[in-house]
Structure 1
Amino acid sequence: MMKNTEIALIIDSCTDVPEDLIESYGMYVVPLTVNYRDGSYLDKVTITPQQVYDRFAEEIPTTSTPSPASAKEVFERVVADGFSKAVVVTISSGLSATYELLCSTAGEYPELDTVVADTKNIGMGAGLSAIRAAKLIEEGVPFEEMAGRMADVVENTKVYFCVDTLEYLHKGGRIGLVTFAVGSLLDMRPVISCNEEGVYYTVSKARGRKQSLRKALSVAEKFAAGFSECAIAVVNGDAVDEAEEVLASMVAEVPNHSAVYDGQISPVLVVHTGPGLIGIGVQGIA
């Protein structure tokens, strides 16, 4: 558990933090939901990324925000564990209603002073902000400063990702029809990130998989170069070998990194991106 016993850290399951760090920092996780025709599953709790891949041939599921009941269950645990303050870190409000849900849930617990940070990011982009929050809490940063500090963290954190096919983002309503049609026809692969509103946008385009990964590396390295110190992360969706190569490149080309993370994306993100995602996260440490 964290050394600072006053402040709890609550995250949602799409704020992708490696499992060992969730445990070592004692983070509380509110799971999103993966919905199939035959029932719903709790993200990372009752369903794994591999189970989603295995069922793609028969059904592409939908996803939804955490249920109010599961959000309340986590807040109840935080209060029962004796915390009087909490920092809540969520995926982008521009991509999910999870932020709004956790804000309203926090309002139901007046005994718990709460700061809710909208990362304007997804996956490991949001995960890097959660890890930074854990470190700030551990360092003993006063609760009154956490909102301001987290605003800086969010501003200094980016994720760049490449998907193997645009089909899943398109089916989930996450990209426009024109982008999908042109991308499919010419094998144009966008490098996608989140803008200041926390909504997906195309950073650059390249023809074919290898070129798009190269472009993603290039923009990530450029962002990292703007800081004296940074944390880097590479996550994947059923693309472990490629992810290892990309991570090796980042480690070699970003000499100012002080922390490196890797891992698989959550089942909910698998639903929206399909197999073959590579995500590169960069966080400047002020």
Structure 2
Amino acid sequence: MEKIALITDSACDIDNETVIKYNIRILPFKIIYSDREYTDKIDITPEEIYDNMINEIPKSSLPAIEDIEAVYNSLVEEKYTHVIAVVISSGLSGTYNAFKLVSEQFPDIRSYVYDTKSTSVCEGIILKKCGECITAGKSFDEIVSCIPSMKNNMHFQFVFGTLEYAKKGGRIGRISGTIGEFLDIKPIVGFDEEYGQCFTYAKVRGRNKSLKKLVEIGKERTEMKNCDAYIVHGNSLEDATKVYESLKMLPGIKNVYLIGQISAIVGVYSGPGTIGVCYVEN
């Protein structure tokens, strides 16, 4: 009989209820300051990172190989037969390769490591759907075969409060930062399907118009198909709530979930003021 474990990294954003319900194992990134190293989602919060950004923008490192090995060893002890790992884009981190490397060291557990070519709530939604499939009694092969279509039904866009942190962190991809900041251009950002790197989905001028654009994208999406919407934010609950209230008014949006803070590791590069919305086709 199959016993399937779900694993991810700490860039994943989803509600704690889902994490507990489906026993999702989360491998933490490291948040590195000049005088100290922290473990993401364990001894540092996104709020603490944002509050300290005026003094220092930290660096980060991917989950340690020994930590991934420790999780796999625990799964062996718990008699798991299969692993589904859903991880941050390989275009942003070496986490995918690290998970693949470790999984190959445990031939008695059959593993599938999925590169989301995205991050944050996209990881979380896929894991939630995988958990639902496990509960429904679907097999490992059935679930794995469905994951690409799960991802194809997801559309994740976000806007930064400022491009400053993405530029300094080197994760800005194909987004022009300096001129945009000068003109108060707020690019709506997405992830390309080929490389999983950031690109400019649309451009608007000013904060209010950028938030309205996120809602307009939802309206356009629901003209084709009904959707659920998942919202994350970087220390910007007030603006996230405005987007939430606007999306609830759209007839094609069936459910709206205000997930909360973007994980600390994503917050290092996105900075305060980030608002992201993932539309998931029903």
TM range (shorter): over 0.9
Which residue matches 1:147?
Answer: 144
Selected match of 1:207 from 200, 205, 208: 205
Superposition pairs of residues 74-93 of structure 1, within 5 angstroms? 74-93=71-90
Letter of the 1:47 counterpart: I
Any conservation in 1 of the 2:233–2:262 contact (CA below 8 Å)? yes
Structure 2 unaligned regions, length at least 5: none
Which residue matches 2:92?
Answer: 95
Range 32-41 or range 259-268, more displaced: 259-268
Structure 2 SS opposite 1:269 = helix
Structure 1, residues 84-132: CA drift from partner, whole Å, max 9, x if none? 1111111111211111111111111111111111111111122211211
Which residue matches 1:227?
Answer: 225
Range 199-208 or range 15-24, more displaced: 15-24
Structure 1, residues 227-285: CA drift from partner, whole Å, max 9, x if none? 34x33201111111111111121222153525634211111111101111111011224
1:280 aligns with 2:280: no
Mapped partners of 1:88, 1:211: distance in 2: 37
Mapped partners of 1:220, 1:80: distance in 2: 45
Any conservation in 2 of the 1:224–1:282 contact (CA below 8 Å)? no
Any conservation in 2 of the 1:120–1:126 contact (CA below 8 Å)? no
Superposition pairs of residues 180-259 of structure 1, within 5 angstroms? 180-197=177-194, 198-228=196-226, 230-258=227-255
Any conservation in 2 of the 1:125–1:282 contact (CA below 8 Å)? no
Mapped partners of 1:278, 1:54: distance in 2: 17
Structure 1, residues 149-172: CA drift from partner, whole Å, max 9, x if none? 001111111211011100000001
1:134 aligns with 2:168: no
* Distance of aligned partners of 1:13 and 1:140 in 2 relative to their CA distance in 1, 3 Å threshold: same
Mapped partners of 2:58, 2:16: distance in 1: 24
**Aligned length, in residue pairs:** 281
Any conservation in 1 of the 2:174–2:198 contact (CA below 8 Å)? no
Which residue matches 1:15?
Answer: 12
User: TM-score if structure 1 supplies the norm length?
Assistant: 0.92
Which residue matches 1:266?
Answer: 263
Moved over 6 A (4+): none
Structure 1, residues 68-90: CA drift from partner, whole Å, max 9, x if none? 11111222222222211111111
Letter of the 1:165 counterpart: T
Structure 1, residues 172-224: CA drift from partner, whole Å, max 9, x if none? 11226971111111000000011112111111010000101111221233234
Which residue matches 1:33?
Answer: 30
Selected match of 2:170 from 159, 168, 173: 173
Structure 2 SS opposite 1:110 = coil
User: TM-score if structure 2 supplies the norm length?
Assistant: 0.94
Any conservation in 2 of the 1:129–1:157 contact (CA below 8 Å)? no
Selected match of 1:105 from 102, 115, 118: 102
Mapped partners of 1:31, 1:176: distance in 2: 24
Mapped partners of 1:65, 1:254: distance in 2: 41
Mapped partners of 1:256, 1:211: distance in 2: 20
Identity of aligned residues (%): 31
Superposition pairs of residues 50-65 of structure 1, within 5 angstroms? 50-65=47-62
Q: Alpha carbon RMSD of aligned pairs, Å?
A: 1.8
Range 254-263 or range 39-48, more displaced: 254-263
Letter of the 2:270 counterpart: T
Any conservation in 2 of the 1:128–1:281 contact (CA below 8 Å)? no
1:161 aligns with 2:179: no
